[in-house]
Amino acid sequence: MDISISDRAIKRIDEIRTEQNVPKDAFLKVGVVSGGCSGLTYDLDFDSDVEPQENDKVFELNGMKVLVDMRSFLYLAGTELDYTDGLEGEGFHFHNPNASRTCSCGESFSI
């Protein structure tokens, strides 16, 4: 199971890439770090200088190179990254089937 990214999220990521003058060959790094009220939080960033490590998951979605370190991938397998701008707020949302608990704002989770 890989990570999937919705069309809305891909569109918004492309807009951010253009706004911030991020090179087209930069990786979208998706990860999990310690923090938040539930213990783990999601991390998104662009990186054009990273060299993927042997165990990193690297894949391409709609021309976008995505990199996930193996530790994060264990938490994120099967997750969909989505983007919404509706009544519940604007931003990226992770739909993670592995999360047993999330905080009320959706920024952190636990397994």
Range(s) of the domain holding residue 35: 4-110
* Residue 18's CATH number: 2.60.300.12
CA separation for the pair 87, 94 (Å, rounded)? 17
What pLDDT is attached to residue 38?
58
- Number of structural domains in the chain: 1
Per-residue pLDDT tens over the stretch 49-102: 888 999 999 988 878 899 999 999 988 999 999 998 877 678 888 888 877 656
Q: What is the pTM of this model?
A: 0.81
- Predicted local confidence at residue 24, as pLDDT: 86
Residue 28's DSSP bridge partners are: 46, 66
